A and B are shown apart, each in its own frame.
Chain A
Amino acid sequence: MSEKDYLPGAQVPDARGYFGAYGGRFIPEALVAAVEQVAEEYEKAKADPAFAAELDGLLKDYTGRPSPLTDVHRFSAEAGGARILLKREDLNHTGSHKINNVLGQALLTRRMGKTRIIAETGAGQHGVATATACALFGFDCTIYMGEVDTQRQALNVARMRMLGAEVVAVKSGSRTLKDAINEAFRDWVANVDSTHYLFGTVAGPHPFPMMVRDFHRIIGVEARQQVLDRTGRLPDAVVACVGGGSNAMGIFHEFIPDADVRLIGCEAAGEGADTPRHAATLTKGDPGVLHGSRTYVLQDEDGQTIESHSISAGLDYPGVGPEHAWLKDTGRAEYRPVTDDAAMQALRLLSRTEGIIPAIESAHALAGALELGRELGPEATILVSLSGRGDKDMHTAAQYFGLYDEQPAADDAGNGGK
């Protein structure tokens, strides 16, 4: 992996973990030694060909990489005829992109001699991927998950427990992803000698935003070549959903030097970005410090975090990775809000036109692609990160669309009621 200075004059991030004004390391003194150890071990691992070889082997033989690129013609017809290509991270082992980062950090954990892993999870996909790697490597595993999310993603709770992980339902605050991260940090401070905090997105203190991005870069590296091979040119736009921002950074990164390729992140707008119930951090937030780095945060005048809302547990987060904050301010990437309803309609549309049931998170990117396709017209090619599959979301979708027999079907025509 090469050091990049892909925007003029910028080394990204700098030695202190800053992407422009964003990033850094806002952590308690008790965690400084542990976070420095992660940074040092990661630098050593990057320089060690054996590390890269082992990770590549796992990505190929365990995860099933490279993930395919799928042309979705019938779906594209609904997007003004623009050609839509899906990068199929849903076909990875465990069902989402999250495994890419997890395997990298699991190898790092073994190098550091630690025996226990903790992680936060929202949708449960990062938790499942982490529990999976812990089973594979023989680590103890504790996953923190907001109580609200344990209910709406119950299938993934069962998967994690089947894999041998302890799942702790977090009952503080908004009882969602933000609070799961708080609780994981509390665990880490108390158990740092034995424990690695396997952070699941491109947020948190340096080096996590950089390291997690690097482990997901493969998404964009593969996809860029696949699009070139398939279409003979680069896409006009790359679209991904943004919770913390890991699948988006993973697919964006390789395209950053391609100035003609638009990079578009889709944030969860919940009931609407202009209502109080959304998770559109980059659209509606302000710079602040949350969970170890300076970034955009949904916060009030006193710097108290405002609770986010989204039908998607994985996007229901009032912060975002600092590199996205920087890409937004520099104008290199654009961020758009996508409502719950737009995402759910896109979820159903992809299911019915292509036989692919996406995760609700990924459905936000699909909704963004539909809108963008109509703007750009039939000549355009749009690459979409299909970050995960929708099995975990069937309960939510069944309720949304009235798919259970005992429930009256709310509105079979399309505007599914809640």
Chain B
Amino acid sequence: MASKLSGILAAAKAENRAALIGYLPAGFPTVDGGIRAINALIEGGCDVVEVGLPHSDPVLDGAVIQTADDIALRGGVRIKDVLRTVQEVATAHPEAAVLVMTYWNPVERYGTARFAADLAAAGGTGCILPDLPVEESEEWRKAADAHGLDTVFVVAPSSKDKRLAEVTAAGSGFVYAAAVMGVTGTRTQVGSLAEDLVARTRATTDLPVCVGLGVSNAEQAAEVAGFADGVIVGSAFVKRILDADGDEPAALAAVRAVAGELAEGVRRR
């Protein structure tokens, strides 16, 4: 039952490199503009993309992604637009895996089973639910399993070993290791906690372990690729689009270029 996501991560491993996973919120700066931006991430070299579902209360996000979510919500983005984003990206790029990253309440409100069905129908391959701990996840996992979706759980430097085993046993696709204790945002250093967390996580699972939170450039990507199976980058892309200040060609060129540099970084191991 190897999923598309697992296959892509295995292929990267076979090439002796880390996978590159990019994040952008849907609807940012517009729904169609967001679709073009996510396509640009893949064209620049991302193997997997996470489509964010913008939320009114993004408690795990720093200022950069909060701003993007705000812009998307003020633009009127709806869940159906997020699903359309998944569908258009998945259609344009069948070689990539498309995940959704969302806080839990929108899924519960939409209907857990309905969301899983619609995400799968749109060509999505799974979900990351950063505020749904494994204890609260049973209903979602049943729905995800019924539709062949992966559920990627997050582990943190504060996770104890016993808990890591419980979390990784419940997840599929890969394990998202948070590099630092904190919210999303670019950081100058990846931090020493990440390598230790990856090692402790690997001791509990055969799933690939990918590292995110704070990675923003090729140097950091190469450093993380030295000990992890994948490198996850979000805020660095969002920031390029914010910096372009409405100039879409410039924004697309910038995110494509950053993806290219990061893709080079994950091959540098």
Contact = CB atoms under 8 A, between A and B. Distances in A.
A51 interface: no
Contact of A299 (B73, B105, B154): B105
Contact of A30 (B66, B108, B136, B178): B178
A68 interface: no
Interface stretch (B3-11, B51-59, B223-231, B246-254): B51-59
A32 interface: yes
B159 interface: yes
Interface stretch (B41-49, B89-97, B126-134): B126-134
B78 interface: yes
A172 interface: yes
Interface string B47-84: 00000000111111010001000000100001100000
Given A16-B135, A185-B59, A302-B110, 9 more contacts: A24-B136, A25-B135, A28-B154, A29-B153, A30-B154, A173-B57, A182-B59, A190-B182, A289-B131
A272 interface: no
Nearest to B79: A302
User: Which range contains the number of B residues in contact with the other chain?
Assistant: 35 or more
Contacts of A185: 59
Give the one of A26, A178, A191 with max B CB within 10 A: A26
A30 B158 contact: yes
A303 B154 contact: no
A30 B105 contact: no
A16 B59 CA distance: 22
Given A173-B56, A173-B57, A189-B60, A289 B182 contact: no
A286 B105 CA distance: 11
Contacts of A26: 104, 131-133, 136
Contacts of A190: 181-183
A297 to B, nearest CB: 7
B105 A289 contact: yes
24 contacts: A24-B136, A25-B135, A26-B131, A26-B132, A28-B59, A29-B153, A29-B167, A29-B178, A30-B154, A30-B178, A32-B163, A33-B163, A34-B158, A173-B57, A186-B182, A189-B60, A189-B182, A190-B182, A191-B181, A286-B109, A302-B79, A303-B106, A303-B109, A304-B106
B156 A28 contact: yes
Contacts of A24: 135-136
